[in-house]
């Protein structure tokens, strides 16, 4: 039997990058997967990939910054899958700007997407999981939730908030069979990173390869990380063997934050 056979998962930000890798790995492990993101074409493609690998999947559109959209997506996932045992909150945005040039609109967008989106998901998922006596929540945070970096004040603030929310939620459900954890990657080679590289190239005149090398060199291992590496940890946290891991913020960064 596959490790997550019979489990039902919802993955936000599932259309690309880490979220896509998580959705595919959950499907391979036997879970039925609701792949959710804002772009319909992307989630349909990932859901088809899950099903092409022998899994079961449904594609959902969601705007995690909108509580009504979150409620609707959870309701649809429950209707199609029969319930939600696993929630992976992976949707996020990462604009860059000095604090003094961060607009009100950008600040609100980042906090609503990265932090409120996690809160809305927890609020939907935890009562159902606790009532059932089993559940796994994994929030995708960042090393920026553990330390500061210049020019990403809004992003770092949101990810620090995600870690606080993760710890509080974990303690609230600690006796119910539900765990809530966060994963904190360093720089991961995803479309989000490519957007960041493009901004570095535009502002500094570095080549794309030089910009990528600058980011890779921020890790003691002098490399970027892969979505699949992050997904492997998420998958472990979703399994039976991780039942004693709760309220933790686990880094995949080669020792950047120690």
Instruction: Spell out the domain ranges in the chain.
Output: 8-186+226-251, 188-224
pTM over 0.85: yes
Average pLDDT over residues 180-204: 95
Task: In whole angstroms, give the CA distance from residue 243 to residue 222.
Answer: 33
CB 253 within 8 A of CB 143: yes
Question: Which parts of 161-208 are beta strand (E)?
Answer: 178-185
Alpha-carbon gap, residue 37 to 29, rounded angstroms: 21
Q: Which of 21-35, 48-62, 197-211 has the lowest mean pLDDT?
A: 197-211
Q: Helix (H, G, I), strand (E, B), or coil: what is residue 251? A: strand
Quote the mean pLDDT of the chain: 98
Segment 169-185 shows an average pLDDT of: 99
Q: b/e string for 179-218 if b means 16 or more Cβ within 10 A? A: bbbbbbbbbbbbebbeebbebbbeeeeeeeeebbeebbee
With both helix axes pointing from N to C terminus, report the angle between 227-237 and 17-28 in degrees, rounded to the nearest 10: 50
* pLDDT at 1 (0 to 100): 54
Say whether pLDDT at 2 is over 80. Answer: no
**pLDDT for residue 15:** 98
Q: Over the stretch 112-152, which tens digit does the pLDDT of each residue have? A: 999 999 999 999 999 999 999 999 999 999 999 999 999 99
Marked catalytic residue, from 149, 151, 155, 187 = 155
DSSP letters along 36-53, please? Answer: EES-HHHHHHHHHHHHHT
Rg over CA atoms, the chain: 18
**CATH architecture, domain 8-186+226-251:** 3-Layer(aba) Sandwich (3.40)
187 is catalytic: no
What is the average pLDDT across 55-64? 99
What average pLDDT does this structure show over 155-168? 99
pLDDT of residue 110: 99
Which of 244, 90, 235, 114 lies closest to 179 in space, CA to CA?
244
Structure confidence at residue 154 (pLDDT): 98
Q: C-alpha angle 141/254/200, rounded to 5°?
A: 70
């Amino acid at each position: 039997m596959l490790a997550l056979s019979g489990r039902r998962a919802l993955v936000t930000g599932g259309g690309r990058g880490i979220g896509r890798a998580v959705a595919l790995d959950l499907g391979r492990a036997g879970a039925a997967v609701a792949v959710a993101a804002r772009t319909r074409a992307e989630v349909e493609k990932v859901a088809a990939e899950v099903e092409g690998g022998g899994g079961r999947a449904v594609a959902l559109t969601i705007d995690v910054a909108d509580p009504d959209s979150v409620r609707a997506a959870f309701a649809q996932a429950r209707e199609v899958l029969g319930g939600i045992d696993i929630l992976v909150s992976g949707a996020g945005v990462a604009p860059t700007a000095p604090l003094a040039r961060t607009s009100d609109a950008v600040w609100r967008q980042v906090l609503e997407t990265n932090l409120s989106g996690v809160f809305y998901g927890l609020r939907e998922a935890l009562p159902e999981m606790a009532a059932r006596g089993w559940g796994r929540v994994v929030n995708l945070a960042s090393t920026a939730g553990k330390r500061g970096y210049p020019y990403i004040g809004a992003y770092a603030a949101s990810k620090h908030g995600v870690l606080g929310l993760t710890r509080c939620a974990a303690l609230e459900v600690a006796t119910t069979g539900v765990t809530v954890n966060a994963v904190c990657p360093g720089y991961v080679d995803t479309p989000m990173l490519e957007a960041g590289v493009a901004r570095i190239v535009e502002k500094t005149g570095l080549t794309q390869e030089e910009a990528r090398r600058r980011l890779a060199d921020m890790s003691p291992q002098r490399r970027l990380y892969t979505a699949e590496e992050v997904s492997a940890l998420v998958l472990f946290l979703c399994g039976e063997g991780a039942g004693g891991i709760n309220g933790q913020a686990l880094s995949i960064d080669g020792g950047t934050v120690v």
